[in-house]
Structure 1
Amino acid sequence: MEKWDLYTLDRVKTNRVITRGDDIPKNLYHLVVHVCIFNAKNQMLIQQRQSFKEGWSNLWDVTVGGSAMIGENSRQAATREVAEELGLKINLENIPPVITKYFSEGFDDIYILEKEIDISNLILQYEEVQAVKWVSFEEILDMIRLKKFIPYDESFIQFLFHLHQVNSLYQM
């Protein structure tokens, strides 16, 4: 049974905890993380959600995503999610999220990494992931149009690829 810390809008942890599936009280929020792993060919590692997974079953998604558990900070949650879903150890010690997306019930810290991975060596978490593959930006857009990928806005996917390539929001 997953338990989540609740935060104020300013990301101050409260002393309140909820169980996954419970309604999040008004003016309180929970922490979600996503990790997007790219290779040197500017391909993103994506995962296909399990057919029996609640919400977006059988659809493809970015590399990894999930909620922070009670007591975890953003980096710890991202590291745990990658290890659980892909059997891969990553080090986010000095890597901040590149962007935080606020939504109605929380905030989503998004990490971008570049790592060469032989996907045949990954150990996929059966409860969450049925397959993984490397794909280009154009392939993701095609998958979204064909309703095979979670229906993110095209500009969001483009932004993730852009952030991977430039590693900055500033032109220098």
Structure 2
Amino acid sequence: MELWDTYDKERIKTGNTMVRGDSFPHGEYHMSVHVCLFNKEGQILIQHRQSTKSGWPDLWDLTAGGSATTGDSSQEAAERELFEELGISINLEHVRPHLTINFGNGFDDVYLVEKDVDLNDLVFQEEEVQDARWASLEEILDLVHKEKFVPYFESFIHLIFESRRQYGMIRLD
């Protein structure tokens, strides 16, 4: 049983918790996170989800992601998900998410991190991940078109590639 803290619309903890899978109380939300690891060549590390996953089975996805559990900060949840899914340790204690995307029952903090990782050093969470590889923007868009990638908006994929080295909405290069 996975417990989540709930938040109000201003992202302030309500003091309540809920069980993953239960109906959301009116006006309460939960936090999820995504970590997108980029290498120095500008490729992103993507993972191939297990065919037994309940959501988007057997599709490629961003580096790592999931829900914050009770007591997690956004950074702690991102660190935990990255380590659980791929065996990658990273310290995000002083890092802010590049993006926060609101969805029906919560908000999703997206971290864009540059870190070269040797694929041979990855340790897959057996229930979640079957493979991982580095991919370019074009390769991901090709997978999206072939319906082999989680169906994110193409504009979102472009945005994470364009925003990976800076915060904000104005291009600084």
Question: Which category of TM-score, normalised to the shorter sequence, fits these structures?
Answer: over 0.9
- Look up the SS of the partner of 1:45 in the other structure: strand
Give the structure 2 partner of residue 67 of structure 1.
Answer: 67
Give the structure 2 partner of residue 169 of structure 1.
Answer: 169
Amino acid at match of 2:43: Q
Sequence identity percentage: 49
Q: Deviations over 1:89-126 (max 9, x none)?
A: 00112210001000110000000000011011110100
The TM-score with structure 2 as length reference comes to 0.96
Provide the aligned length of Structure 1 versus Structure 2: 172
Superposition pairs of residues 130-169 of structure 1, within 5 angstroms: 130-169=130-169
CA contact (8 A) 1:4 1:70 kept: yes
Structure 2 residue 83 is the aligned partner of structure 1 residue 92: no
Superposition pairs of residues 105-144 of structure 1, within 5 angstroms: 105-144=105-144
Structure 2 residue 8 is the aligned partner of structure 1 residue 8: yes
- Look up the SS of the partner of 2:164 in the other structure: helix
Give the Å deviation of 1:2: 0.7
Counterparts of 1:43 and 1:75 in 2: how far apart (Å)?
22
Q: Deviations over 1:8-63 (max 9, x none)?
A: 00001012111111111121100000000000111000001111010100001100
The TM-score with structure 1 as length reference comes to 0.97
Amino acid at match of 1:32: S
- Look up the SS of the partner of 1:4 in the other structure: strand
Give the structure 2 partner of residue 80 of structure 1.
Answer: 80
Can you give the 5+ residue segments of structure 2 that lack an aligned partner in the other structure? none
Amino acid at match of 2:45: L
Give the structure 2 partner of residue 55 of structure 1.
Answer: 55
Give the structure 1 partner of residue 19 of structure 2.
Answer: 19
Give the Å deviation of 1:86: 0.7
- Look up the SS of the partner of 1:11 in the other structure: coil
Counterparts of 1:95 and 1:17 in 2: how far apart (Å)?
26
Aligned-pair Cα RMSD in Å: 1.1
